[in-house]
Amino acid sequence: MRFIGVSLLTERLLLRPVREGDEAALVSGLDDPEVARWLESVPSPYTLRDARAWIERCAREREAGFMQDFAITLAERGELVGGISITPSRVEPFAEIGYWIARAHWSNGYGGEALARVVRHASEECSPRFERLRARVDPANTPSRRMLERAGFVERGVSVDNGVERVRYER
Ligand SMILES: CC(C)(COP(=O)(O)OP(=O)(O)OC[C@H]1O[C@@H](n2cnc3c(N)ncnc32)[C@H](O)[C@@H]1OP(=O)(O)O)[C@@H](O)C(=O)NCCC(=O)NCCS
């Protein structure tokens, strides 16, 4: 399996599997309309019950070799500041990436740093590696689009999923 239990280190961050004990930090970051509005399928308001269900789901999917969700933590303090997930397609050698950073930590470069590390892992280090990575973004989400472009993703057009417009990026 490509991801089971993998942790990834960057200059300032430790990306590790989301786990029991992360509930309060998940609620603190995700129970924020300014974060949730950009994310598909994140309940709003976001409660402890949602966090518990998410942690359980992540553990199940990790064990099945499907989605890996990393908690983005500050390497020195251990504080959880966001999340980044990678979901392999079940039929193609592709994977979809999604992420968030808690509002108090925006614009410190953490999003870009975490994305670059996950991209490196997915396209160079893991075995078998992914031939292509994908992300879908609200056209108005300038920071996220900028992050993807900095990480080498290119725009592949716009699609409408369930009535919602998304710019498709690939790398
Ligand atoms: C998108 C998000 C993850 C960015 O996280 P971050 O840690 O603040 O990102 P970074 O600090 O690495 O900055 C990313 C880029 O966006 C730019 N940026 C940051 N805030 C910005 C803003 N308000 N407007 C325009 N650009 C902005 C940064 O300058 C940087 O570009 P640069 O590398 O050219 O300097 C964060 O804003 C977030 O969690 N948003 C809500 C959830 C979300 O949108 N998830 C993605 C769904 S596709």
User: Could you read off the pLDDT of 140-158 as tens digits, one per residue?
Assistant: 999 999 999 999 999 999 9
- Is pTM beyond 0.85 here? yes
2-46 residue pLDDT tens: 666 789 999 999 999 999 999 999 999 999 999 999 998 899 999
Give 129's contacts (C-beta < 8 A, 6+ positions apart).
122, 123
Helix (H, G, I), strand (E, B) or coil at 94: strand
Whose Cα sits closest to atom 36 in ligand 1? 101
CATH architecture of 8-170: 3-Layer(aba) Sandwich (3.40)
Which structure tokens are listed for 23?
A: 């509930």
Residue 107 has pLDDT above 80, yes or no: yes
| 116 phi and psi angles, rounded to 5 deg | -60, -40
Task: List the domain boundaries for the chain.
Answer: 8-170
Question: What pLDDT is attached to residue 138?
Answer: 96
Distance CA 88, CA 31 (A): 27
136 Cα: distance to centroid of ligand 1 (angstroms) = 15
147 Cα: distance to centroid of ligand 1 (angstroms) = 6
